[in-house]
Amino acid sequence: MKSYRVAIVGALGAVGQQMVKILERSSLAVSSLKPLDIAQNEGKQVSFRNKMWTVETSGKGKFLDIDIALFSAGADASAILAPIAVSEGAVVIDNSSQWRMTEGIPLVIPEVNPEALRAHKGLIANPNCSTIQMLVALKPLHDAFKIKRVVVSTYQAVSGSGAAAIRELREQTQMVLDGKEAVAKVYPHQIAFNALPQIDVFLENGYTKEEMKMVHETHKMLDPNILVSPTAVRIPVFRGHSESINLEFEKPFEIEQVFEIYQKAPGIQIVDDLEKLAYPMAIDAEDRYEVFVGRLRRDPSIANGLNLWVVSDNLLKGAALNTVQIAEKMVEMNLITR
C-alpha cells in the first residue's frame, strides 16, 4: 500500500488539532507527519500514531517533501502559503474561505460532488461549515425529487469563531450569573443567554457574508438553479451547528420515501422518534462524524414541501473531518501523484 507524507498547516489551532486526531483514526497510510504553525509555536510537539512530531514554522521550502498538505491557518495565510505548497509539489486541501469561490478550484464535499476532484490542479477548497452539513442532507433528496427552493436558518456554535469566542461565552456566562455586566469583545453584543442574527459582516444586499456563502457554495457544488434563502444566527452553544431547513421539490414525495433515502445515504444518521422525544441535538453531535437529521415532516403550506432539522459537529464534518475525507477520497480515486 502506498503511504503519504502529510503536512498540517495550523496544526496547533482548534481545527488543526482535530485534523491530527481524525487523521490518526483514518485509514490513510501516513509515512510522516509535518505539523506546521506560526513561528512562536516552533519546537512544540504533536503526538501522532505513537510518535512525537516537532512543529516547524510554515513557509517556503516546507512542502518539498510533502504529498498532502491540510490547511487550517485562515484565509490570509492560505493566500500566501497554498500557492507555495502547490508549486513545491504538494496537493493542498484548504479549510479557509480563501479559495472556495475561485474559478477552477474544486469545492468539495465527498458525499456531494466527489467527481469535481478530477479537475484539481493541486488545490482543493473545503466548504463553509454550515454549507457542508446542509448539502450532505440535501444531496440525496435533490437526486430523488429535485430541489427548487431552500429556506434555511442556522443556529451556530461559538466554536465556529475560534478559541477566543469559546472563552468569551464561558466568561460572559459567569459574569451574568454573578450579576455583573457581560463584556463583549469577540462579538458585537453579549452572546451569553442571547442569540445574534449576525455571522460575519453585512453586505450591500442586507445579508451577511456567512449567509451568502451558503447561497454561492450550494450553487457551485449542488445546483446553480436552486433558490436559497438563508438566515445565520450565532447562539450560546460551545460546539455543534443546528439548522432548520424548509425545502420545496419539483417532484411529489412521501415522507416514507424520505426516511428510506436517508437510511441509505452516506454520512447521515436519522434521529426521529417523537414518542421518545428523540431528535438531533448539538450536545449529542459533539465528537461524532455523522450529519444528524430529524423532525422530518411535510410542509402543508406549499406543494411538495418538507421541513427538517439538521445538526452536525462544526469542528468535525464542518471542518477537519471533511478535509481529511477529501484526502481519503483523492487517494481512493488515485488523484494524488508526485
* Lookup result for grid cell 436559497: 228
Kindly name the residue from 120, 129, 142, 216 that is annotated as catalytic: 129
Radius of gyration of the chain (CA): 20
Other C-beta atoms lying within 10 Å of the C-beta of residue 236: 17
CB 297 within 8 A of CB 232: no
- Phi, psi (degrees; rounded to nearest 5) at 145: -125, -5
Kindly name the residue from 120, 142, 189, 241 that is annotated as catalytic: 241
Residue 104 burial (10 A CB sphere; 0-12, 13-18, 19+): exposed
Tell me which residue of 8, 22, 13, 15 sits closest to 289, measured CA to CA: 22
Residue-by-residue DSSP string for 269-323: EE--BGGGTB---HHHHTT--SEEEEEEEEETTSTTEEEEEEEE-TTIIIIIHHH
Grid coordinates given for 2: 502506498
**Pairing of β 91-94 and β 123-125:** parallel
216 is catalytic: no
Percent helix, strand, coil in the chain (nearest 5)?
35, 25, 40
142 is catalytic: no
Residue type, 160: G
- Phi, psi (degrees; rounded to nearest 5) at 60: -60, 140
CA separation, residue 144 to residues 74, 104, 236 (Å): 36, 28, 36
The catalytic site residues sit at 129, 241
